Amino acid sequence: MNVLVINCGSSSLKFQLIDSESENVLAKGLCERIGIDGSLTYQPAGGEKVKSEKAMPTHTEAIQFVIDALTDSETGVVKSLSEIGAVGHRVVHGGEKFASSVVINDEVLAGIEACSDLAPLHNPANLIGIRACQKLMPGTPMVAVFDTAFHQTMPEKAYLYGLPYEYYEKYAVRRYGFHGTSHSFVSKHAADFLGLDLNNSKIIVAHLGNGASISAVLNGKCVDTSMGLTPLEGLVMGTRSGDMDPAIMEYIAKKEDLDIAGVMNVLNKKSGVYGLSKNLSSDFRDLEEAMENGNKYAAAALEVFCYRVAKYIGSYVAAMNGVDAIAFTAGIGENAGIVREKVLAYLGYLGITLDAEANKKRGEDFVISTADSKVKVAVIPTNEELAIARETVALV
């Protein structure tokens, strides 16, 4: 079956058409600046990437252009819409309502809407994408795959904040976690690749991208993760602060004469390694280069990032009373050998030894710990689109 995977933002839409039998990507692309002017970038497998300007007043036009491109007589990859068996939608927040992926019906739409309060920038955009697809592909089954679902197995002690309990009851204030599709995919794949029995294993997944989070996966189930009510908690990220003393908010607001929205903007967009490097960059390639050229702020940013990752790994070893394997994934986890090396340097007490040669590798799954290392460490590229396609097929 061919599955169309859609990741819809407020003004952009990423898509992939995946053949679920071979798991090959048949075509992929991106619509940008929806509601402003609009452009479509489209690339069939083995073909050239082509970007064209197209008027996209709403997501419905954007999805129509995607369908047109996929079924185009020259560059298309299917003859008609009937060759698309299902659509899998990435949905950011499923609250406590959705602990797994679901086939979309009216009740599910209402449930996603009810979680919009918790993800006001994302869930409404996800809903717009689903409704536009339903309009253009009325007979095609659709599935919602939630970023939060994998973390719903966290125990109460891991998801409650030290806040008045009524806030949890009245406003659903608790830790949810994000990147769940990636943590689920990578933990399963790591167990497979490393020859572990998933149902009898302790795996820590470090999803280190522009947004970054860590999870503790015990016997295949998430027992803790570093992001919280929102994706701001946890690790130091590209531009996000991660954990900090909450009292800093009032202190900075007074000093900089900012309101709460102004402070939130700083914590989300001007902090992390970007802020630490004095606005040099949030991209680790730039930071590495600057550090090699003697930039002390870039060097400090990298150290702060790696130290925080190592501390989280240590705390998850405590949460699971041990660890069998650590998997690095996402843009930084898959590519920045220096980050992996610095993080693992803190973890010698676990009996981890790094294979420095293996750590220079790039590409598909590979092990970076030595044969005698007590904990296996691997680089496992994430593939959220494939994970969404698999979930979709399983449900339809």
Helices and strands in the chain, H and E counts: 14, 14
Q: Which is nearer to ligand ADP, 76 or 180 (CB)?
A: 180
Q: Which is nearer to ligand ADP, 358 or 396 (CB)?
A: 358
Question: Any binding-site annotation on 175?
Answer: no
Sheet order of strands, 39-44 included: 50-53, 39-44, 24-32, 13-19, 2-8, 86-91, 142-146, 102-103
Rounded CA-CA distance 369/129 in Å is 42
Q: Which member of 238, 272, 275, 381 binds ligand ADP (CB under 6 A)?
A: 238
- Residue range at the interface with ligand ADP (CB under 6 A); choices 166-174, 204-212, 239-247, 264-272: 204-212
Question: Any binding-site annotation on 207?
Answer: yes
Q: Which is nearer to ligand ADP, 38 or 231 (CB)?
A: 231
DSSP string, 136-175: HSTTS-EEEEESSGGGGG--HHHH--SS-HHHHHHH--S-
- Here the tokens at position 13 are 């839409």
Does 111 engage in binding with ligand ADP (CB under 6 A)? no
Residues 253-312 that bind ligand ADP (CB under 6 A): 282-285
Q: Which is nearer to ligand ADP, 58 or 279 (CB)?
A: 279
Residue nearest to ligand ADP (CB): 331
Rounded CA-CA distance 146/125 in Å is 14
The amino acid sitting at 34 is I
Q: Which member of 10, 11, 153, 335 binds ligand ADP (CB under 6 A)?
A: 335
Question: Any binding-site annotation on 332?
Answer: yes
- Rounded alpha-carbon distances, angstroms, from residue 313 to 146, 181, 216, 235, 378: 24, 20, 8, 11, 14
Rounded CA-CA distance 380/221 in Å is 18
Strands (E), the chain: 2-8, 13-19, 24-32, 39-44, 50-53, 86-91, 102-103, 142-146, 202-208, 212-218, 221-225, 325-329, 366-367, 376-379
Catalytic-residue membership of 147:
yes
Does 336 engage in binding with ligand ADP (CB under 6 A)? yes
Strands (E), 169-225: 202-208, 212-218, 221-225
Site pattern 311..330 for ligand ADP (x: CB under 6 A): -------------------x
Number of chain residues interacting with ligand ADP (CB under 6 A)? 13
Q: Which is nearer to ligand ADP, 111 or 211 (CB)?
A: 211
Q: How far is CA 103 from the centre of its chain?
A: 21
The residue annotated as part of the active site, out of 37, 68, 72, 147, is 147
Question: Any binding-site annotation on 335?
Answer: yes
Q: State the nearest-atom distance from the C-beta of 179 to ligand ADP, in Å.
A: 8
- Residue range at the interface with ligand ADP (CB under 6 A); choices 75-83, 139-147, 156-164, 205-213: 205-213
Sheet order of strands, 325-329 included: 221-225, 212-218, 202-208, 325-329, 376-379, 366-367
Question: Any binding-site annotation on 14?
Answer: yes
Per-state percent for the chain, helix, strand, coil, to nearest 5? 40, 20, 40
Question: Any binding-site annotation on 360?
Answer: no
Does 361 engage in binding with ligand ADP (CB under 6 A)? no
Q: Which is nearer to ligand ADP, 39 or 282 (CB)?
A: 282
Question: Any binding-site annotation on 384?
Answer: yes
- Residue 23 Ramachandran class (φ > 0 left, ψ -120 to 50 alpha, else beta): left
Rounded CA-CA distance 187/378 in Å is 11
Question: Any binding-site annotation on 209?
Answer: yes
Does 242 engage in binding with ligand ADP (CB under 6 A)? no
Does 210 engage in binding with ligand ADP (CB under 6 A)? yes
Q: State the nearest-atom distance from the C-beta of 41 to ligand ADP, in Å.
A: 16
Does 332 engage in binding with ligand ADP (CB under 6 A)? yes
Does 232 engage in binding with ligand ADP (CB under 6 A)? no
Q: Which is nearer to ligand ADP, 209 or 228 (CB)?
A: 209
**Straight-line distance from the first to the last Cα atom of the chain, in angstroms, rounded to the nearest whole number:** 10
Enumerate the active-site residues.
Answer: 147
Q: Pick out the residues of the known binding site for Mg(2+).
A: 7, 384
Q: Pick out the residues of the known binding site for ATP.
A: 14, 207-211, 283-285, 331-335
Q: Pick out the residues of the known binding site.
A: 7, 14, 90, 207-211, 283-285, 331-335, 384
Binding site for ligand ADP (CB under 6 A): 209-211, 238, 282-285, 330-332, 335-336
